[in-house]
A and B are shown apart, each in its own frame.
Chain A
Amino acid sequence: MGDVLVARNLVKVYDDLRAVDDVSFAVQPGEFFGILGPNGAGKTTTLEILEGLRPADSGQAILLGNPSWPRDTDVLRRVGVQLQASSFFERLTTREQIRTFAALYDVAPATADEWLGRVGLDDKADTRAEKLSGGQRQRLSIACALVHDPEIVFLDEPTAALDPQARRNLWDLLGSLNDNGRTVIITTHYMDEAEALCDRVAIMDRGKILQLDSPAALIRELEAAVRISLDPQAISATDAEGIDGVDQVEEDAAALTLSTHDPAHVLAELATRGSLAGLQVKGANLEDVFLTLTGREYRA
């Protein structure tokens, strides 16, 4: 089977802003694909073009083998969508919301109710959607996007505006979405989220894709130093500098930090010396990738 989603040289210009500037990528069936970037990077507009909400000025968007624009109801039956804001019917309860969405796709009410259980909203079934917490609302809107068991689902910043705890709670749910071979397209401006969930990540900034690969490969390509921090008492700065492979040593009241490109050797050496007190090892993450790619600090 070929690609389920193809973006080919997509361009969208608003006034003098190139919101989407020559974006191309292809997504395999069953992939968890992330589009990562700060606010205003063009993620949502790219998603809207791919979903078929608006046409591109030039380029092609192919969704499940058909052009995304103009919209085709037969294709839409196989696609799930969650939009940035949680879009619900006014004054309906949680159960009524999902049943209404289910009916739009000819899905039975019982299936809709099962989904409420799957996203942990059973006990909120009779609560009006307006009264749910931010995390519960997101769960409901994800359930509404999945109620017809779509082959591909688009989630636009599903964890935006949630506190860190609620965000991590949602990751379990999100991570299970492609278990049955479903393709998931997600946008986020959280680096850790993309790293934890996505098979591949497209890093976008100012309408362009800067890099596209698996999070691990992106980090590996950086060849960034691994940072090993120790209790300042564990080893003296001078001794640390003497270890083969240590590039740099920083010391402050709380910790002694060694930077290295050869962590295996350095850790083995520290172990032989019995100097592992307070050990913490940090590899590079996507934030470092973004910093390297754009030369700017990442601001969500």
Chain B
Amino acid sequence: MTAFVSLSQAMLKGFLRDRQAVFFSVFFPLMFLVLFGGVFADQDQSKIDLIQVGDVKLIDDLPEQARAAFDEAFEVDESDDRAAALAELRDGDVDLVVEEDGDQIVMRYSEADQVASAVAQGTLRSFVEAANVAASGEPPTYTLRGERVEDESLSTIQFVTPGLLGWAVATSATFGAAATLVGWRSSKLLRRLRLAPVSTTSIVAARIGVTVMIALVQMAIFLGLGVTVFDLQLTGNWWLSIPLLVAGTLSFMSLGLLAGSVAKTVEGATSLANIFVLPMAFLAGSFFPLDGAPRWLDIVSHLLPLRYLNDGMLDVMVRGEGPSATLLPLAVLLGFAVVVVAIAGRFFSWDTD
């Protein structure tokens, strides 16, 4: 037990003092999270900016439910200064200026951005017509029900957090296992440990323990930053991603073990790990959704462990699915680890000779 604890401490310190490893497994993926979560976020959801000059009965007297829908669509500023409002419209700072003239509602717009102005006009017109129907006291003859076909609720941050976290964990687990194995073998530390009264199990268990711990810290940082800064909405089942992450870590460590067993030098092992991890991250949808991907890509991506980890974490973190959604990913990730460890075992040696 002392041996296990001290080996774990030695590995953890070795990782934390390796600035390059910490950068590539924590800060580099975080930069992508900031990029996707902060810079590209919610581009499609910007509201229509509207200045209301004086009282506008239509807007002010909207029933509560309609008012909520109105606020979803419009960002309303109230003003008494028509000239200033029109100046803002001309400058393109707002999309509409609205005022009341008896029973008429005057909507002023700019044609500078035709698409934006068409959307703004159409949206406001629909509220006017709805108010007309309501004023007539008759039930509407036709009603319209809208349904979105793509996954609702998946704003950018919701989608990228699980994917980038999966990529980050794949990087640290694969590289950690590969670099430790090759480094320890070439410095003969691996041999030295064989001549200490330590079982191979203790060494392997310490490595797994440390890597899982690093993965959980990565998760805490990603989710913490996502929730506090980028308005990430986690569902109640998010904790189910912990077993997924542990199984994923084992899968990626097995890849690292394979890279470290095949390669002779640390450089060779890291290159090989790169060849495994980076294409896998692209094909497994860590950077962009694969919903619209062609069939062949979808098939290829389902051969990769990261795809199952990403999908599994997406399901439980943001789609609100329950424990049953983790069963397939868990089985695939653990199965993958077993198969790859068996392959790596054929190449493994304690020595460099």
- A and B from one assembly? yes
Contacts A90-B183, A91-B18; A103 near B192 (Cβ below 8 A) = no
Query: By DSSP majority rule, is chain B's interface helix, strand, loop, or mixed?
Result: helix
> Which interface class (under 10, 10 to 19, 20 to 34, 35 or more) fits B?
20 to 34
**In the complex, which of the residues A79, A91, A106 has the most CB atoms of chain B within 10 Å of its own CB atom?**
A91
Nearest Cβ in chain B — how far from A51, in angstroms?
6
Contacts A74-B197, A76-B195, A105-B197; A91 near B188 (Cβ below 8 A) = no
**Once bound together, how far apart are the Cα atoms of A103 and B10, in whole Å?**
11
B189 touching A88, Cβ below 8 Å: yes
Contacts A83-B192, A85-B188, A88-B189; A100 near B9 (Cβ below 8 A) = yes
Complex interface residues of chain B between 140 and 199 (CB less than 8 A to chain A) = 183, 187-189, 191-199
Contacts A91-B17, A100-B10; A85 near B195 (Cβ below 8 A) = no
Q: Which residues of A contact B196 (CB under 8 A)?
A: 76, 101, 104-105
Q: Which residues of A contact B198 (CB under 8 A)?
A: 73, 104
**Candidates B6, B18, B187, B188; contact of A104 at CB < 8 Å:** B6
**Candidates A87, A88, A89; contact of B191 at CB < 8 Å:** A87
A53 touching B191, Cβ below 8 Å: yes
**In the complex, which of the residues A77, A85, A88, A104 has the most CB atoms of chain B within 10 Å of its own CB atom?**
A104
Q: Which residues of B contact A81 (CB under 8 A)?
A: 192, 195
A87 touching B192, Cβ below 8 Å: yes
Contacts A85-B187, A87-B187, A100-B7; A77 near B197 (Cβ below 8 A) = yes
Q: Give a binary string over B11-35; 1 marks a CB under 8 Å from any A CB, 0 the rest.
A: 1011001100000000000000000
Nearest Cβ in chain A — how far from B177, in angstroms?
14
B3 touching A71, Cβ below 8 Å: no
Q: Which residue of B lies closest to A90 (CB)?
A: B14
Report how many A-B pairs have Cβ atoms within 8 Å: 71
Q: Which residue of A lies closest to B195 (CB)?
A: A81
**Once bound together, how far apart are the Cα atoms of A84 and B196, in whole Å?**
16
Q: Which residue of B lies closest to A72 (CB)?
A: B197
Complex interface residues of chain A between 61 and 83 (CB less than 8 A to chain B) = 71, 73-74, 76-77, 79, 81, 83
Is B5 at the interface (CB under 8 A from chain A)? yes
Is A52 at the interface (CB under 8 A from chain B)? yes
Q: Which residues of B contact A104 (CB under 8 A)?
A: 2-3, 6-7, 193, 196-198
Q: Which residue of A lies closest to B3 (CB)?
A: A104
Is A99 at the interface (CB under 8 A from chain B)? yes
B183 touching A106, Cβ below 8 Å: no
**Once bound together, how far apart are the Cα atoms of A53 and B192, in whole Å?**
9
Is A96 at the interface (CB under 8 A from chain B)? yes
**Once bound together, how far apart are the Cα atoms of A81 and B197, in whole Å?**
12
A79 touching B191, Cβ below 8 Å: no
Nearest Cβ in chain A — how far from B149, in angstroms?
52
A-B pairs, 8 with minimum CB distance: A103-B6, A73-B197, A87-B189, A91-B17, A87-B192, A87-B188, A104-B196, A81-B195
Chain A interface residues (CB < 8 Å from chain B): 51-53, 71, 73-74, 76-77, 79, 81, 83-92, 96, 99-101, 103-106
**Can you report 6 A-B residue pairs in the complex whose CB atoms are below 8 A from each other?**
A73-B199, A83-B188, A87-B192, A100-B7, A104-B198, A105-B197
Q: A89-B189, A90-B183 are in contact. List 7 more A-B contacts (CB 8 A).
A: A53-B191, A73-B197, A76-B197, A79-B195, A83-B192, A103-B6, A104-B198
